[in-house]
Amino acid sequence: MAATSGKLRPPFRLLLLLLAAAVARSVDGVELTLLTGAREKGAVCLDGSPPGYHLQRGFGSGEHSWFIHLQGGAWCNTIEDCSKRKMSAYGSSKFMRAVEFNGILSNDQQLNSDFYNWNRVFIRYCDGASFSGDGEAQDQDGSTLHFRGLRIWEAVINELMGKGLATAKQAILSGCSAGGLAALLHCNDFYARFSKEVSAKCLPDAGFFLDIEDLSGERHMWSVFNGTVHLQVVKDKKDWGLFIDSCFTHCQTPFDISWNSQASPVLGNKTVAEAIGDWYFERSYEVKEIDCEYPEIDHPVHHPPRTCSVHTRAAATGEMPILPRRRYAEPLLLLLLAAVARSTAAAPDVVELILLTGAQEKGAVCLDGSPPGYHLQRGFGSGEHSWLIYLEGGAWCDTIESCSNRKTTELGSSKLMEAQEFEGILSNNQTVNSDFYNWNKVFIRYCDGASFSGNAEAQDQDGSTLHFRGLRIWQAVLDELMEKGLASAKQALLSGCSAGGLATLLHCNDFHARFPKEVSAKCLPDAGIFLDILCSSEDLSGKRLMWSVFNGTVQLQNVSEVLPKDCLAKKDRTECFLATELVKSITAPTLIVNSAYDSWQIRDTLAPVGSYPGQSWLNCTNDIGNCNSTQMEVLNGFRKKFVDGVKVVKDKKDWGLFIDSCFMHCQTKYSISWSSQFSPVLGNMTIAKAVGDWYFERSKTVKEIDCDSKLRSPVLPRRRLAEPFLLLLLLLLLAAVARPTAAADVVELTLLAGAQEKGAVCLDGSPPGYHLQRGFGSGEHSWLVFLEGGAWCNSIESCSRRKMGVYGSSKFMKAAEFNGILSNDQQLNSDFYNWNKVAIRYCDGASFSGDAEAQDKDGSTLHFRGLRIWEAVVDELMGKGLATAKQAILSGCSAGGLAALLHCNDFHARFPKEVSAKCLPDAGFFLDVEDLSGERHMWSVFNGTVHLQNVREVLSKDCLTKKDPTECFFPAELVKSITAPTLILNSAYDSWQMDPFLDSHGPVAKLTFGIAVPHKSKNKFVDDVEIVKDKKDWGLFIDSCFTHCQTPFNISWSSQASPVLGSKTVAEAVGDWYFERSYEVKEIDCEYPCNPTCSSQLPT
């Protein structure tokens, strides 16, 4: 398939939309509840631990409705299999954690309209026999294996009956995969527990396993379990339903993407969610849909187009899979969608942090003096005496100022460290990590800033001590691990990524020397080869950037003790810190994994922003497909220097090389690059296979260096991509799913002090909250205040429902991730990363503007105190330093964007004239337009809100003398009275406003409205902001992307997928406007679909 130029094809725009939604959408984790009296009832997991479940209470009309979902996860059918299984979350509650409720379990009304407010229960699967066994056996180590699935089912259901299930008026039993089979096994028992008037039904998902021969003639499923019901018997059963699609997928109810989204399969004009709702609530005469044969796509005209989002085709056909409501894409999309869905069953284990004991006494402390930490997951079975030690990476600090900044992050203080997901080489998934899955695995956290090598201290700018004790951390943590079993290891591997890869080289000989000769102790540095000379002895600005960083680190932190003595006798210490010198003195067997086109070095040291004029190199390093021939010559020069630097390894016995040509950095710690269809392949080996063959000596040599490049970003060896956009998408996927070192900070909730006394409370009367992350360095006296959005409540009924969730009560609020404009990642958020950043939570339902109260249906009080919340929280922040701000921005998204307009003048008035206080409403410009039926939907919502919650006090007095309060609540009127400098950021085709606008008349309207209606809405938008064009110090960034809210998400704020207007991303435009780097920033996009940088487009 030929790539198109200029525009991205609809399938890829949609896929990025789904990816952005998956990344951006925050889902609360529901905590685990352990079964009471489990051992007395004999209802225990394989290892004897009590089973568990996750319960989220229903509310409103769903208070007496229950949804029970049984977890899946295959089976164990031998003592050996069950023994392995009991060491995981599928055999022991000891490994279980909170889970996210998605798909049919979601409490998002838009996503899950029929069941969002039901009592929802997710029962964990830890018996290995679909909740059906009742026996026990002796394990290989003499302990007991408990096969008590049937007792678990009975005991958990009995406990739930006591918690309200017994009084249910509606009930569904569901499950996925092995849980879907369990839903069939227990369906009659579940149904019999209720009286006849209760609507109790069963919904097995992906639980229909067939007894068929595989390609070798074996009946695989028969060998796992005997007897499967044939599908055809279902069709004649009254009150039964069928939704049998031909999509290449497994489990569709628990994932948002397949349950109810633009990627959900459609049969009979219904998504999975719509079909199940129609069947359960009997809105249709019957729901018995069986799809046409795969891969038929030529439907009659009156049928909807094929909607399977994941397909495969026989290799002989040469055809591509089909995306929702669109034709061809690439097989690559199959895994992209699968990766976004992130099956709960296959989620990586989360391993808790362990702090080093006696750290202060040993002088082994982080930059701020806190104890260092590590994460340990015990090995089992054949891996009980094998150890993998992995050193975290994260660049370096080479000055007092940079180390001072670093100590306020998790890379300088254990106070900010959290539990870690173990993926890639650290995964305990045998499929992903077949050679090392059952080893003891340790992830040592990096908090010294010198690759675990320094031994010094210095005075910080505030008079406190900066501790440069990386070497002591290495020694003390290794000593502690030796006591925990590492000393008796029979196999050991030291690895690390980036700065941790360099640390692996620095400590490789010491690690190897800790074991007897008969122990196989080896080293695996990943992305740890950093070059001094970049192609022409310097980077594009004429500087040796890596030399400068390393020189500062070496001198400041005193790393001489870890450097090779023979090198120090001949060369400068900084040169001896370079990997190309270190490899010469390492005697332990080592395999170097690296890209010859390392993305971090190319972007940050070869062509850093500011080292060249114009945008040509930025375009090249953001997407290698944009590089011209001269730039490719420079990049290939980088590769040559890299290959020359590791040539010494070719002659080293027992050493290995895996040097690919992918534009990547760090490949061992992420499952997607470690061992998947996306993993680079050299010599017919993925990274995982190459490392395993080298370590276990299954191959004579593993020394692979990829050819120089027809380089793409990233390159997938032996695969062609249909469009360059897919390359970008994979980068985004790696960023979003793999969770790189620069993960978003999680900021704890602070509740407002004295809220009740001030009358500043949420809808339910609980105190409001906010998240504050302190600024540092040059941003110490700069403040960004961000108002959360989340629609409105405009009736007693809607506000009553709202108070039962995070948008009406702080009881449900949790810590929040800071992304986008709130990120502290300098590369992502260069203008505001070190500011004081505050996210104020939204719990009043009227854009922080109401001041009233009303009686709820149950007799309690509904508190409409948004205005008091705004005033009280900002007053508290003034006392915490906002009053002395030298720079300040008020922002917000959606309903929070409207709030930023409502309170802009008040915010600006709180500061002296010399303070640069400005406003940035994002997606807050809501239009008063008629929908397809002629109704004014937004007017109706706003009118109810304005009158119910009494918002007059925040409205323009001038407007109120002439117009209705509801009209004055619209941004088109608000902007007329705002005097503070303001930049309006919005899409002219705002997806939130378009969806209800089109949805009000269903799928027919969506298929027939054409493009004229959105253009009419866009023209109305442009007319409403016309007044801004003449306002001095104001700005506009009005793109034509089908999206809503762009500042709080990395993907839209500043990434390769950010909309671009006037050659600026959203982040660049906001920075140029605020800091007045441009004469003006007033950009209004052309009409859809003219802008090729829009990754989110209108549905067709």
CA atoms within 13 A on the CB side of 393: 26
Q: Report yes or no: 262 and 1099 within 8 Å, Cβ to Cβ.
A: yes
For residue 372, the 8-state DSSP code is: P
CB atoms within 10 A of CB 334: 18
| Residue given tokens 């089909």 in the structure block | 322
For 750, the 3-state DSSP assignment is strand
Phi first, then psi, for residue 948 (nearest 5°) are: -65, -40
Nearest Cα residue to 574 out of 596, 557, 588: 557
* β-strand partners of 391: 444, 496
Catalytic residue among 507, 665, 937, 1044: 665
One-letter-per-residue 3-state SS of 447-515: CCCCCCCCCEEEECCCCCEEEECHHHHHHHHHHHHHHCCHHHCCEEEEEEECHHHHHHHHHHHHHHHCC
What's the rounded Cα separation, in Å, for the pair 500 and 395? Answer: 9
Phi first, then psi, for residue 1012 (nearest 5°) are: -65, -40
What's the rounded Cα separation, in Å, for the pair 619 and 608? Answer: 12
Residue ranges in 517-610 assigned as alpha helix (H): 545-557, 565-568, 573-576, 579-585, 599-601
Phi first, then psi, for residue 551 (nearest 5°) are: -60, -45
718: alpha, beta or left, given left = phi > 0 and alpha = psi -120 to 50? left
CA distances in angstroms from 796 to 58, 380, 807, 943, listed in the order given: 18, 56, 15, 14
For the question of residue 598 being annotated catalytic, the response is: yes
What angle is formed at CA 569 by the lines to CA 565 and CA 570, rounded to 5 degrees? 125
One-letter-per-residue 3-state SS of 339-358: HHHCCHHHCCCEECCEECCC
What angle is formed at CA 25 by the lines to CA 345 and CA 865, rounded to 5 degrees? 130
Q: Report yes or no: 443 and 392 within 8 Å, Cβ to Cβ.
A: yes
Catalytic residue among 427, 498, 675, 713: 498
Q: Report yes or no: 789 and 1048 within 8 Å, Cβ to Cβ.
A: no
User: Helix axis angle, 332-341 relative to 10-24, nearest 10°?
Assistant: 20
DSSP one-letter string for 247-297: -S-S--SS-HHHHSSTTS-EETTEEHHHHHHHHHTT-SS--EEEPPPTT--
* β-strand partners of 389: 442, 494
CB atoms within 10 A of CB 708: 15
Cβ burial 1065-1094 (10 Å sphere, 16+ → b, else e): bbbbbbbbbbeeeeeebbbbbeebbebebb
What's the rounded Cα separation, in Å, for the pair 374 and 366? Answer: 12
Q: Report yes or no: 844 and 873 within 8 Å, Cβ to Cβ.
A: no
What's the rounded Cα separation, in Å, for the pair 440 and 523? Answer: 16
For the question of residue 903 being annotated catalytic, the response is: no
Q: Report yes or no: 786 and 891 within 8 Å, Cβ to Cβ.
A: yes
CB atoms within 10 A of CB 469: 28
Residues recognised as catalytic: 498, 598, 665
